[in-house]
Structure 1
Amino acid sequence: MVNDGGAGAALARGDVEGALAIWQRVTARRDATPGELLGHATLLFRLYRAEDSHDLLERLLVHPAAGVEEWLVVARLWFERGRFDRCARFSGRALAAVPDSPDIGAMHAAALERSGDKEGAREVIGAFLVRHPEHARLVRLLAHIERGDGDFEKARARLEDQLRRFSGGEDWRLRYELAAVLDRLGEHAGAMRELEMAKAELEPQSQRYRSQWRSMTERQWAVTQSLTRERLARWADAGSVAQAGDEREICLMGGFPRSGTTLLEKVISTHAGCIGTDESGVLATQFRDPLVFGAGSAKEVVTELDAFHADDLAAGREEYFRCTADLLGEDPGGRLLIEKEPLLTADLAVPLRLFPDARVLMPLRDPRDVVVSYFFTMVPASRDSVAAATLEETCRYYAEVMRHWLLLRERLDAGRWQWMESRYEDLIAAAEVQTRRLAGFLGLEWEEGMMAHHRRAGRAVGTPTYDDVSKPLYTRSLARWRNYERWLEPHLGMLEKHCAALGYEA
């Protein structure tokens, strides 16, 4: 049993600093156990103080009583943070201790692949598949690497052979990957068939999240509807006074998953004066969840937001920047921070209150292409992803999220709130024109490097589209929905309003 010295009780009282001080005393002992070191480090991660966990994790890595269980916990913590090189260090240590574990091998290979070491990942996968040919995650990852390299037929043969020889409880992973491969091969009916089979396997998980999804979307819409022009103007006036003297700049980037948000952030972040968050989750976990979903009603949410004083807003901004710097592993300094979170669109009330001088950038893409791409994306089951269970639900979810923007763009005073829409199609068709327009909106001098985002080394991308944005701009995703029109057609009515309002052909 781990001795936390009373840190848990302190946390229950809301005494975070007291809990940290207790953990510091516990782990300062030379005989601190692996569980105590891990307990302290885990709390630091939870509080967005992961950079303070360095010494604890180094001790854990060499502790004579530490084992695979502790190292894998740390590996997962770093993986969730998108720090895949650090993840690989701990997953590699675990693999060295248990060299014949295909599950650990799969995790280590995934960390290597995500950190850019594809050859290292291939080597690990190849060695394990000799001994464990039935392991679905290893096969799926190897096929994914092959697809990324353009070896579509090789990936297809591998996946189909696996499904034929070793069908089991993780077939859905293989079918998702096979659907993506068949899509690239132009076999769209086959791709949709594999997707539907994968989603049928996941239906029991999806069902568990549907009520949460509905409750979430209803609360978000009620809050956004309360953001009248008068309220937004009042927030802007009061907040700008409170923020006077704070030179840190932020751009709030919303959109919808697969609207080109990751690409747009990558393009902008090539500029020396910018740094992107790559969907940090800070606004959601530290602000949105407690304020919006922790309240008893939407009315309570807005009442609390209205009641914030200048000191409250300043403290909130400080906490946001502190958490974000920890997650990035560096302080943004004087750079413009791009807070990219596609589903931020439905939760703009909180950041608009916190950052009255923020620029709002809304990535757009043909809604029909968006829903098809989102439907194809393999993401963990949650209340945010359950809408990808069927094309009908995906179309409904897109409509429910983007209605927030259609309302807000009519209420944000262009002279008070600075906002801009950026179309994916325009970026693909005329990169220089669009990047110059983006630079102007963001108050930056245009740089030619903004048109060569794929050549600039940087932090690993943690979102599902990480492989796509490592390549030059391409046109194959334009009008992709036409390939799936007969499956999409029954649900297009839900998208008609948005296509018209956002300037896309009906």
Structure 2
Amino acid sequence: MRAEAEQALQRGDIHEALSLWSLITAGNASPDDLLTHAGILQHVYRSAEAAPLWDRLLAHPDATPDQWLMAAKRFFQDGRFAACARFTARAWQAVPDSPDIAVLHASALERCGELEEAARVASALLAAHPLHPRLVRQLAHLERREGRFETARERLERQLQHHTSHDDWRLRYELAAIYDRLGGFTEAMRELELAKRQIARESAALRPEWRAMTTRQWEVTRGITPERLARWQREAPQPPRRICLMAGFPRSGTTLMEKVLTAHPGCIGTDESGVLATQFRTPIVFGARSTAEVLVELDGYDEASLAAGRDVYFHCTADVLGEEPGDRLLLEKDPLLTPDLALPLRLFPEARILMPLRDPRDVLVSFYFTIVPLAPNSVAAASLADSALYLTEVMRHWLLWRERLDPARWMESRYEDLLAHPEARTRELAAFLGLDWRPEMLAHHQAADARPIGTPTYDDVSKPLYTRSLGRWRNYLPWLEPHLETLRPVLDAFGWT
């Protein structure tokens, strides 16, 4: 039966595969069976059905720490940090001297806001494994969050000087962030360049896929004519849904704006759930043989197929959120949604579009500094030249969209204005989104029901509004100058001088 289930999965028959797995795990299932079945259910956004299987795996007498660790990694990748911590705690209890388990446990605890416990876990294992690079990096990261910059710097430099490893690039990213806070801008760029040099081969392998991706996205955007948009508007399914698409570019203030808006009880955010990418963009845009095929498919949707697509989106999104949006405004936030706006605008012609903007020079520096998993949509950070190119290419999508969309449907909001005039700007945002203004929008970091943030800026948005990062680019002007001409179209279009 397991072989049949695997075959069904390989041919894409998820219903048949899950029916078979339900029979397999109905009785005294093995830990591997529980892990596989629960993983498939979670992959297809059926977490409620997966939950009892995860619980059985956690309590299974024959389960191994490796199996609990596999489950934990899955939860961490999905941004479910509390669930991850349950499994890492169980694995660590079984193998208390494992630094690999401890570092993931500490990371999950940190993402849940339990900084003291995370530091305790990392410190306890570092005493027994003083050369473990990821433990060193995790403890230094926690020290940086606490403002103990010199302690963190000394820890990382000592490790890098005396104990090299394949994880050095992660340590150097952390050290660069620390030097930035200490005012050592030359040293920060040196560490970044060394880090990126260490992963240059992996980055180079992903670059062709990145370029193919951006080419297809630009062809699709150019193909969405005003006439197409008008037709899609006429074909809008009923009833309309309360949804806002928040695009932008990484490090342009999208996560901060989401936190500000979702401090309002009438708004709930997706925090880059990935639903639009996995369920729609990847199969429709990148799975097509040509751009013409993409446009034909988008045009070919009838009322029933659009309704079905909307249902899929809301089902998957509710699964990620752990709750239904209900009557609240749903904020679909993804800073790389900008080059893929065609798809959500086809699904939700009634959607409003919110475009966070920030000085492109500050965005460029922040993007270059941010450590993210290597992927086609992040590999541009391998160099300042590619970072500038990517930023400019993404924003040209928005420059075209705002010419074609009804001005009443979209709003630009500048990061700098939000920091300088928080009440005035949040009142404007609330009015645009049809929300009454609430004073708690100015204290987003104090929200009692705040969920853990899965994006790399989770630490920044856990604090009150601050202006430290404004004009940060001036500290790195000698490195930026060769790339400012690439940014010129964006600087000029939005009026930054």
TM-score of the aligned structures, taking structure 1 as reference length: 0.96
CA distance in 2, matches of 1:221, 1:116: 39
Partner letter of residue 407 of structure 1?
L
1:334 to 310, 317, 327: 327
Aligned-residue offset at 1:8 = 2.5
Matching of residues 317-466 of structure 1 within 5 Å: 317-415=310-408, 418-457=409-448, 458-466=450-458
Are residues 1:143 and 2:136 paired? no
Aligned-residue offset at 1:13 = 4.2
CA distance in 2, matches of 1:387, 1:485: 19
CA distance in 2, matches of 1:354, 1:338: 15
Are residues 1:253 and 2:251 paired? no
Q: How large is the Cα RMSD of the aligned pairs?
A: 1.1
CA contact under 8 A between 1:5 and 1:22: conserved in structure 2? no
Residue of structure 1 equivalent to 2:213: 216
Are residues 1:21 and 2:19 paired? yes
Can you list the C-alpha shifts for 1:21-50, whole angstroms capped at 9, x where unaligned? 221111111x21111111110100110112
Instruction: Summarize the Cα distance change of 1:51–1:425 in structure 2 as closer, same or farther, 3 Å threshold.
Output: same
CA distance in 2, matches of 1:160, 1:16: 50
CA distance in 2, matches of 1:486, 1:39: 51
CA distance in 1, matches of 2:12, 2:483: 47
TM-score of the aligned structures, taking structure 2 as reference length: 0.98
Partner letter of residue 70 of structure 1?
Q
Matching of residues 232-247 of structure 1 within 5 Å: 232-239=229-236, 242=237, 244-246=238-240
Gaps of 5+ in 1: none
Are residues 1:92 and 2:89 paired? yes
Can you list the C-alpha shifts for 1:81-140, whole angstroms capped at 9, x where unaligned? 211111011011111122211111111111111111111111111111111111111111
CA distance in 2, matches of 1:57, 1:168: 34
| Matched residue SS, 1:10 | helix
Aligned-residue offset at 1:414 = 2.4
Can you list the C-alpha shifts for 1:170-197, whole angstroms capped at 9, x where unaligned? 1111110110011011111111011001
Are residues 1:44 and 2:38 paired? no
Partner letter of residue 319 of structure 1?
V
CA distance in 1, matches of 2:407, 2:475: 38
Are residues 1:64 and 2:61 paired? yes
Can you list the C-alpha shifts for 1:435-454, whole angstroms capped at 9, x where unaligned? 00000000000001101101
Gaps of 5+ in 2: none
1:6 to 4, 27, 30: 4
1:471 to 453, 463, 468: 463
CA contact under 8 A between 1:213 and 1:384: conserved in structure 2? yes
1:493 to 460, 485, 488: 485
1:291 to 284, 305, 314: 284
Can you list the C-alpha shifts for 1:124-179, whole angstroms capped at 9, x where unaligned? 11111111111111111111111111111111111111112212221111110110
CA distance in 2, matches of 1:48, 1:354: 19
CA distance in 2, matches of 1:65, 1:142: 33
Partner letter of residue 473 of structure 2?
W
CA contact under 8 A between 1:8 and 1:19: conserved in structure 2? yes
CA contact under 8 A between 1:4 and 1:39: conserved in structure 2? no
Aligned-residue offset at 1:14 = 3.7
Aligned-residue offset at 1:413 = 2.1
CA distance in 2, matches of 1:118, 1:411: 47
2:154 to 146, 153, 157: 157
Instruction: Summarize the Cα distance change of 1:197–1:449 in structure 2 as closer, same or farther, 3 Å threshold.
Output: same
CA distance in 2, matches of 1:326, 1:77: 15
CA contact under 8 A between 1:295 and 1:301: conserved in structure 2? yes
CA distance in 2, matches of 1:9, 1:165: 50
Matching of residues 175-186 of structure 1 within 5 Å: 175-186=172-183
